[in-house]
Amino acid sequence: MLLPPDTPQGVADVLGYLQHHLHELMERQNVSENNINITLVALTVQLQQLTQLVANPLPLPVLNTPPLPVPSPPVSPPPAPTARRTHPKLSSPLDFSGKHHNGHTFLNSCSLYICLVLEQFHDEEERILWALMFFKGGHAAKWSENVFRQEADTGIFPIQSWRDFEQQFQLHFFPVNAEADAINALEGTSYHQGGWTVDDYLDNFQALVSDAGYMDPQTLVVKF
């Protein structure tokens, strides 16, 4: 800005100062406006980027995570061993020859043995075969041979159950008329203790009374 030549020096100095200061302010304003424009441009670019990201979101990255381990089923403890049932030492029945007066004793021995160790026999046929093992000599051996001969001829074991075996055994090896024989012995004059011990005589007497069917106490006293 040009001043007239006659401008006082003091005024010229003040005006020069003001002019210089105004020029600095204008430069500062230009710098500020330039910074503001740069900032606005950067914000505009970031806004556009955010808008595109919202409209087209990027796919989430797939993480290769290992599969979770499948828990193994709980292992149950092994069952405790069951205690095996123990039996007293048993004596096998005595060999049977077929005599009628031994029939009751033999059949009772077989039935008692089977009852105590029933689990040792798989079925009733096995029980019958076991009992036939003791049929040795006399009429018993011949009857046992006839049973196996029937099986060989027909292919079928002729005795179907243990009950069937008991019935056939009673038919062939029990006294024909045990009741009549017992009554005849008790009613006869020859029945007395003789040389028997008291225990033997008592055992025999009780067996005869049972077969005879005596129940009256007075009769038992008289016959004893």
Could you write out the DSSP letters of every residue in 59-122?
PPPPP-PPPPPPPPPPPPPPPPPPPPPP----PPPPPB---GGGHHHHHHHHHHHHHHTGGG-S
Residues 47, 110 share a domain? no
Residues 165, 98 share a domain? yes
| Cβ pair 212, 181 in contact under 8 A | no
Report pLDDT digits (tens) over 107-153: 999 999 999 998 999 999 999 999 999 999 899 999 999 999 999 99
Tokens, residue 126: 């096995």
Residues 189, 152 share a domain? no
Does some domain include residue 188? yes
Does some domain include residue 155? yes
Question: What is the pTM assigned to this prediction?
Answer: 0.48
Average pLDDT, the chain: 78
* Residue range(s) defining the domain that contains residue 21: 8-55
Residues 170, 184 share a domain? no
Tokens, residue 96: 């049977």
Provide the residue type at 121 as one letter: F
Distance CA 102, CA 173 (A): 8
Does some domain include residue 61? no
Domain boundary among 174, 192, 209: 174
Q: Write down the pLDDT at residue 195.
A: 67
Does some domain include residue 86? no
DSSP string covering the chain: ----TT--HHHHHHHHHHHHHHHHHHHHHHHHHHHHHHHHHHHHHHHHHHHHHHHSPPPPPPP-PPPPPPPPPPPPPPPPPPPPPP----PPPPPB---GGGHHHHHHHHHHHHHHTGGG-SSHHHHHHHHHTTB-SHHHHHHHHHHHHHHHHHSS-S--SHHHHHHHHHHHHS-TTHHHHHHHHHHSTT-S-TT--HHHHHHHHHHHHHHHT---HHHHHHH-
Residues 102, 145 share a domain? yes
Residues 189, 156 share a domain? no
Report pLDDT digits (tens) over 50-95: 777 777 776 766 666 677 777 777 777 777 666 566 666 778 899 9
In total, how many domains does the chain have?
A: 3
| Cβ pair 85, 120 in contact under 8 A | no
Whether 9 shows a pLDDT value over 80: the answer reads: no
Residues 184, 116 share a domain? no
Of 34 and 142, more confident: 142
Residues 161, 183 share a domain? no
Q: How confident is the model at residue 28 (pLDDT cuts 50, 70, 90)?
A: confident
Residues 168, 103 share a domain? yes
Residues 185, 157 share a domain? no
Does some domain include residue 77? no
Residues 170, 97 share a domain? yes
Residues 153, 191 share a domain? no
Does some domain include residue 130? yes
Does some domain include residue 196? yes
